[in-house]
Amino acid sequence: MKRNISVEGLEQTPIEQQRIELVERKCLGHPDSLADGIAESISRALSAAYFEECGTVLHHNTDQGEIVAGESLPRFGGGVITKPIYVLLNGRATKTFDGANIPADTIAINAARNYIRTILPTLDMERDITVDSRMGMGSTDLRDVFRTCVTIPRANDTSFGVGHAPFSEAESVVRGVAAFIDEQLRPRYPVIGQDCKIMCLRDGDAITITLAIAFVDRYCASLNDYLDMKQLIKEQVESVAQGFTKRTVRVDVNTADDIANESIFLTVSGSSAEMGDDGSVGRGNRCNGLITPNRPMSMEATSGKNPINHIGKIYNLLATQIAQDCVTKVDGIEEMYVRLLSQIGHPIDQPHVASAQVITKPGTSMQAVAPEVEAIIDGWLANVTTITEKVIRGELKTF
């Protein structure tokens, strides 16, 4: 069956020529990202367990969950968490299948705890956090989807995914800064917590990056240490950011600090989840790692959804892959937006519509790029299950 693919030209001021652009990223220790990461960890652990036990990935949707903040008393040199973070796991998972029992609750709790330990290494996993599961069983209809489908899975919902390419300069700056902090800066300076929010405003050719970084108290001996580290971060991040752009870059760190009153962003664990900031799945980064109000976005949580037939996951990842692939392979594309819409119950390789909007570069016509774009889209859809496989192998990030 021929797929319903629409490739159209879009006349639009390219993003780099728009005066104002906003880009945000919530790094791994931000409560919302923490929730995303837990959700995705659970889905991957369940997928692995299902595969081992049943030879296939059974129905589950763990794209839910709530991080209820604790209370803490951070202190230079090391404070304490006074009320534990409470993590509610919900969503649904198959717990029995054809006589086999899959301990979904304990698998989920274990996966969540292992993930949290990785992200917040100074958290005392025994005393500072409670992980509670209220996961339910999926509804029969949805589970039947898996039983009856032997080839291409059928969409679990009428929903859509969105993606774009290439990254704008501001987007690249944010991604680069995040990577720099995670891969270069924190390993050297463990005082830099995982809870880091990067907010980037490009106003014409002036880029302002506002960082909100949770400092880890045990690695911070004094207010002077704190101020020195802020300055160091500012300088190094400015330098790194400047590598991505010729525009001017200014970096501000923890602008809400009130130094006179020693009201600063100091934490025990490196995340504000310890002291007042709750987190939810699906409220932070989109699956390209960014929040981009200048770009089309999907509201669907990508993390935690099952990678077999959950459109909110597969189509967001796929739309992003398609856009990036087209931009890489097809000459003359300035910007590109991909939207994929499913119909519940239909095979996921046959979307209700696959829509590509292309802003061509000057001198390139739509006729020149459309056939290639359509072929790439068709190819990805024909091989849609590679997305599933990549997710299971952990090769695709979801937030």
Sheet holding 129-133, edge to edge: 129-133, 85-89, 66-68, 279-280
* Amino acid present at 87: V
Provide, rounded to whole angstroms, the least separation between the CB of residue 171 and a second copy: 14
Q: Which of 80, 152, 366, 375 binds a second copy (CB under 8 A)?
A: 80
Name which of 331, 276, 264, 237 is nearest 75 in CA terms: 264
Q: Which of 44, 92, 305, 310 binds a second copy (CB under 8 A)?
A: 92
Q: Give, to the nearest 10 degrees, the angle between helix 311-329 and helix 385-392.
A: 100
Q: Which of 48, 54, 68, 232 binds a second copy (CB under 8 A)?
A: 68
SS3 287: coil
* Amino acid present at 285: N
Provide, rounded to whole angstroms, the least separation between the CB of residue 139 and a second copy: 4
Site for a second copy in 94-123 (CB under 8 A): 95, 101, 103-107, 109-110, 113-114
Name which of 299, 268, 274, 275 is nearest 286 in CA terms: 299
Site for a second copy in 317-346 (CB under 8 A): 339, 341, 343-345
By CB under 8 A, is residue 138 in contact with a second copy? Answer: yes
Q: Which of 225, 238, 278, 378 binds a second copy (CB under 8 A)?
A: 278
Stretch of residues binding a second copy (CB under 8 A), selected from 176-184, 233-241, 243-251, 280-288: 280-288
* d(C-alpha 122, C-alpha 230), whole Å: 21
Provide, rounded to whole angstroms, the least separation between the CB of residue 389 and a second copy: 26
User: Is the preceding peptide bond at 166 cis, omega within 30 degrees of 0?
Assistant: yes
Site for a second copy in 23-42 (CB under 8 A): 24
Binding-residue total with a second copy (CB under 8 A): 102
Q: Which of 27, 57, 120, 142 binds a second copy (CB under 8 A)?
A: 142
Q: Which of 48, 54, 88, 392 binds a second copy (CB under 8 A)?
A: 88
SS3 339: strand
Torsion 147-152-153-158 (CA) sign = negative
Q: Which of 165, 196, 220, 291 binds a second copy (CB under 8 A)?
A: 291
* d(C-alpha 277, C-alpha 196), whole Å: 13
